[in-house]
Amino acid sequence: MSFFFSRTVNIFKQALDGATHGHITAGSVLSPDVGFIPNNLNFNGTVTPKKKFKCVFCGKTFEYLSHMTRHMRKHSGEKPYVCTVCGKRFAQKTYLITHERTHSGERPYACMECGKSFSQKSSLNVHLRSHTGEKPYSCSHCGKSYKTYLITHERTHSGERPYACMECGKSFSQKSSLNVHLRSHTGEKPYSCSHCGKSYAFKIQTFHSTHNHPSTPEEKRFECVFCRRTFNKLTYLKAHMRTHSGEKPFVCTVCGKRFAQKTYLRIHQRTHSGERPYSCMECGKSFAQKSSLNVHLRSHTGEKPYSCSECGKSYAYKQGFNTHQCFG
């Protein structure tokens, strides 16, 4: 009798310990012979995975303790993983590993189609749609399909601008647009020229380098026999040579107009089709050329890449800059 009693007490203690640590659930069955029989044990002897660890804050359940521990950091704000380069902290080790690639330059995920590489697998998956043409996200308002950024596009219909500047109150539909805008208040200039060290608030170092630091002869190996202009790629030289020969091998099937470059033909064809593939995520306005979109974006970001060397005044558009240069 005493043996049976002590056996029952031990089993009960197991129940308390198990419940405390999340190993035993309310649906488990008590047996004096075998201890606890989990309610996820099937008749054929197999065990169905069961979520047995519950978050004390929101009640969400997890199958593994490590998963719950990681989830709990969302509530506690704990960020135990620290970048040894810049000191930035992260809640998950995977986030730290991804972040460290911004310092190391590592891009382990390569596209088998074009060779372009990425630091995150998710970025590669999005890029692959440029080859497959897949556009899995469709707008319920206008039916337009997107490879990414459907939520941002839908804000052009709803007018929602969830990202507000705490300094001046201006709001934006994208967080990236807000981050760019904030530099007008903080004075931050994260983009610097590798040649002269000049810093910019906006990503215009390519424009700056092209106009202020022409490439050295060593970087340009292909020379035009007519004008001695040099190019770093043979394809660029071939395209340039047509400006001398007058050759225009690309023909529009609609109107017969000819072009020296295939890209010019594609842009021209949009005048017939009405296609405007480049859309502003901020206001929804669309353009036939990417360069036109980039110019338009300055109306949102405040970027002014054209600067007068005499007085320092800056302009968002080349037309205004040229007028200033002529008339002062």
Q: Which stretches in the chain have pLDDT values below 70? A: 1-51, 145-149, 194, 200-220, 327-328
Q: At what angle do helices 290-301 and 175-186 cross, to 10 degrees?
A: 50
Nearest Cα residue to 277 out of 285, 268, 288, 266: 288
pLDDT score of 126: 78
Question: Strands, E, within 108-149: which ranges?
Answer: 109-110, 117-118, 137-138, 145-146
pLDDT score of 280: 82
Question: Mind listing the pLDDT tens digit for each residue in 214-259?
Answer: 555 456 678 888 788 888 888 888 888 888 788 888 899 999 998 8
Q: What is d(CA 250, CA 259) in angstroms, rounded to the nearest whole number?
A: 5
Residues in Cβ contact with 70 at an 8 Å cutoff, skipping those fewer than 6 apart:
91, 92
Question: Mind listing the pLDDT tens digit for each residue in 192-215?
Answer: 776 777 776 666 545 555 556 655
Nearest Cα residue to 200 out of 187, 185, 212: 187
**DSSP assignment string, 228-277:** --EESSHHHHHHHHHHHH----EE-TTT--EESSHHHHHHHHHHHH----
Tokens of 308: 């007068």
pLDDT score of 215: 55
The domain locations on the chain are: 126-219
157 and 139 Cβ atoms separated by less than 8 Å: yes
Report the first-to-last Cα separation within the chain, whole angstroms: 107
Using the structure block, give the residue that is written with the tokens 């809640």: 91
pLDDT score of 255: 92
| pTM, entire model | 0.36
The four Cα atoms 110, 111, 117, 119 give a dihedral, to 10 degrees, of -70
What CATH number belongs to 126-219? 3.30.160.60
